[in-house]
Amino acid sequence: MIGQIYPQVTHSYRFELNKDMNFSSAHYIPDARAGACARIHGHTYFLNLTIAGNELDDLGFLVNFSELKKLIHARFDHQLLNELPEVEGLIPSTEKMAELIYTIVQAYLDGLDNQPTCLQVFLRETPTSYVVYRGAL
């Protein structure tokens, strides 16, 4: 992931951090219109989270990187996404997974005293396809 270039989000926060990580998961889109994606198949997803804020915590962090990794990697790595409680009722397309990741991360950030915000989720499904999700800006 070194050398990745991600779309930039214009903002006026004093601090911005980006955290890269990956997780390997399988999924399927339960509809014949999805073509080959209607069958179970796996991806190594590459994820970049863009988080911003004006205040740091008592350790000097906007947010602890290891906590972000726990939120996502521990939850989704080596899983069949369709079977996870968090995905129940969703079609686990890359778009919907990016939105779900945003929701999970923002819920965690909302509990922090320094109140950072998730500006962007960049989720790469294959070398040639990715999704950018931004919450209400």
Which residues belong to the active site? 37, 78, 125
CA distance 4 to 13: 22
Do the Cβ atoms of 6 and 121 come closer than 8 Å? no
CA distance 73 to 62: 20
CA distance 83 to 30: 12
Do the Cβ atoms of 47 and 20 come closer than 8 Å? yes
Burial of residue 108 (number of CB atoms within 10 Å: 0-12, 13-18, 19+) = middle
Do the Cβ atoms of 100 and 47 come closer than 8 Å? no
